[in-house]
Structure 1
Amino acid sequence: MPQCIVNINHVKFVFLLGIILPNFAVAAFPDLGVGVRPLGMGGAYIAVSDDSNATFWNAAGLTQIQGSEFTASYSILYAGLNAQLFNQDIDQLGYHFVSYAQPIGSPSNVVATSFLFFDSAFYQEQTYLFSFAKQIWPAVRGGMNAKYLRTNVTETPYITADPFLAEIDLTQSATTIDLSLFYAYNDHISLGITGHNLLPADIGVLETMHLPIKVGFGAAHKTQKYTQAIDFIWRQGRINGQPIRAIRFGLERWFLNRQIGVRTGYNVDSATVGASVAYGETYQIQLDYAFIYPISSITDTMGSHRFGFSVRF
């Protein structure tokens, strides 16, 4: 979220109410999660990361893909919230993701590019990722993201009427990197570790404000039919004087030779369920859906809905 302009606290809906505050309690680019399949598993994906969603969860996991892969997702955030703007209009939050991954030379070397876009009537965020993953040793893979971040506050009559805000640049951009490791203990057990925003990235508008470093560790047990995963997350900073930590659980079950999948997950912020339908061999098409219901900070909503489309070839 916009650093130092509003306090949107994960959802960014203070902008939706047209309220501009001088400080931020929570950094911009909050962890709303990326991809439909990962969110259906409660965001427990660090040690799974076996598709093109891996760019945002654990880039090292890209070495698990078997060929070229494209994925796109569309999100309806907090349905029924109907946040009302200062001009009485109703704003809709958009949160969308596109990713393409391609092995180069051999399946153990993969490059990928991804784009994440958040949009509201007042505020936009764009994140561009350029990812590289490589098998270092037979069981160990490494990954890196070069990340470009951009925020923009839309000029509205409410903003231009303020002499101070009308004179400043309401657009900010920054770059940073993510590093990650993926360890395949055997065919069924894997571990992952990630570090996000490891270089200082100032995305403040009114004053300096850096994205917080985030570190994650995950473990997963995978078979042809089942996936079980758990993640532990730590993020730099404090909320109400307490360290920012989280634990996530996810479970996935496939049927009919991995043509139909169902999943569920849980974390401190939400409970989730999801499903997939996959078809094809040479060109495999997969449709995904996830329902995310907030159980902590957001009320009066029918949850978030995410829809995804993937092609493997």
Structure 2
Amino acid sequence: MKIISLSIILLFFIGGWSVISPGEAADYPHVTESGFTTLPASTRAMGMGGSFVAVADDYGASTFNPAGLVQLTQKEVGAMYSDLYGLGLLAYNFLFWVVPPTIMGAGGISWAHLSSNLEPERWDYDMFSYSYGQFISPSKSSSRTTISSWGVNLKYLKQTSPWGESSGYSMDLAYFMRKEKVSCGINVQDLVSVRQWSTGRRESIPMNVKIGTAYRFSPYLLLALDADISGKDLLKDARLGGEWWITPIFALRGGMSTLFQKDSFLTLCGGIGFDFPLEDLRKKGGVKFDYAFAYNQALGNTHQFSLSLRF
């Protein structure tokens, strides 16, 4: 029963399984469209319905839009955890380290791990990423309210399953622009990719394009809209969300997302954030804690947590 439940979830989560018949290619079923490489890792973004491509001003930029890393003002290190759909079958972990821009640009490294434990069978997916962002035209003002930038993700992928192992690489290319209250972004995910299976089979990962725009009513209130586009589905999904910092240390978030497929469904999201300031003799920093909740009638509820240190 667990295997059936997991298969249903993966059908939605990964975006489609392609099962090779016993007489083809390697005599085992395998995933030909890996949603894992495009799976976002940001609790803050999840609370906003996943609309973050044009926000991208913290560690979440490393998966949503690496060009947004130029907005960082401090180093940030931390971790995220999620039990996807609350069934105890899919555990998603993310570790990250990002640094603000210098003359050489902004950057970060991260490790994402997705595992499903259905003893005696187990699936493991790992993605090691290097993210980089650089200004195209920085603002003349120190506040950097008007910027444009480009970014790239270089990803190494590894997958282990009962039917075989694979490894490979993938690259994302991104753009970000912000002018006063309005910003926009685009991230072409898996622009170049290749994956080699232990059976000798080679394949590429289908490209996915994330686009988004955001409007900041004030430094404390913003609204964002995202969409995903792929060659298979012209409009794959849409996401709408917002964030309101009620006080300097507490934020409320809300949003929704919908998939434009044959069996489309709506996901409602919400979240909270705490930013506790810390100060030493040299500079200010802080500890951030974020929580997000996603409700989906078809798949179940997902809780996500993250903790990070800025310095």
User: Per the shorter chain, which TM-score range?
Assistant: 0.7 to 0.9
- Aligned pairs for 1:297-312 within 5 A: 297-298=298-299, 301=300, 303-312=301-310
Report the equivalent of 2:99. 102
RMSD: 2.5
**Secondary structure of 1:44's partner?**
coil
Deviation digits for residues 151-181 of structure 1 (CA, Å, limit 9, x no counterpart): 0115xxxxxxxxxx5xxxx111111111111
Q: Give 5+ residue unaligned stretches, structure 1.
A: 1-5, 82-90, 155-164
**Secondary structure of 1:252's partner?**
strand
Q: 1:110 to 1:25 in 2, by over 3 A?
A: closer
Checking the alignment, whether the CA contact within 8 Å between 1:248 and 1:265 is kept in structure 2 is yes
Checking the alignment, whether the CA contact within 8 Å between 1:197 and 1:212 is kept in structure 2 is yes
Report the equivalent of 1:270. 267
What amino acid sits opposite 1:150 in the alignment? Answer: K
TM-score (norm: length of structure 1) = 0.78
**Secondary structure of 1:234's partner?**
strand
Report the equivalent of 2:108. 112
Report the equivalent of 2:143. none
The list of structure 1 runs, each at least 4 consecutive aligned residues, that deviate by more than 3 angstroms after superposition, is 20-26, 29-32, 203-209
Q: Number of residues paired by the alignment?
A: 268
What amino acid sits opposite 2:107 in the alignment? Answer: V
Deviation at 1:40, TM superposition (A): 0.6
Report the equivalent of 1:9. 11
Q: 1:32 to 1:132 in 2, by over 3 A?
A: closer
Q: Give 5+ residue unaligned stretches, structure 2.
A: 1-6, 139-146, 259-265, 279-283
Checking the alignment, whether the CA contact within 8 Å between 1:49 and 1:57 is kept in structure 2 is yes
Checking the alignment, whether the CA contact within 8 Å between 2:72 and 2:101 is kept in structure 1 is no
Deviation at 1:78, TM superposition (A): 1.4
Q: Does structure 1 residue 149 correspond to structure 2 residue 157?
A: yes
Structure with the larger strand share: 2
Higher relative contact order (CA 8 A, sep 6+): 1
Find the aligned partners of 1:236 and 1:179 in 2 and give their Cα distance. Answer: 17
Find the aligned partners of 1:29 and 1:116 in 2 and give their Cα distance. Answer: 13
Q: Does structure 1 residue 292 correspond to structure 2 residue 289?
A: no
TM-score (norm: length of structure 2) = 0.79
Find the aligned partners of 2:100 and 2:105 in 1 and give their Cα distance. Answer: 6
Checking the alignment, whether the CA contact within 8 Å between 2:290 and 2:305 is kept in structure 1 is yes
Checking the alignment, whether the CA contact within 8 Å between 1:75 and 1:306 is kept in structure 2 is yes
Report the equivalent of 1:224. 219
Find the aligned partners of 2:32 and 2:48 in 1 and give their Cα distance. Answer: 25
What amino acid sits opposite 2:110 in the alignment? Answer: S
Percent identity at matched positions? 25
Deviation digits for residues 20-78 of structure 1 (CA, Å, limit 9, x no counterpart): 99556761234543110011111100000000111000001011010111131111111
Q: Does structure 1 residue 173 correspond to structure 2 residue 163?
A: no
Checking the alignment, whether the CA contact within 8 Å between 2:70 and 2:101 is kept in structure 1 is no
**Secondary structure of 2:11's partner?**
coil
Find the aligned partners of 1:64 and 1:261 in 2 and give their Cα distance. Answer: 19
Deviation digits for residues 264-294 of structure 1 (CA, Å, limit 9, x no counterpart): 1111152100001111141210110000112
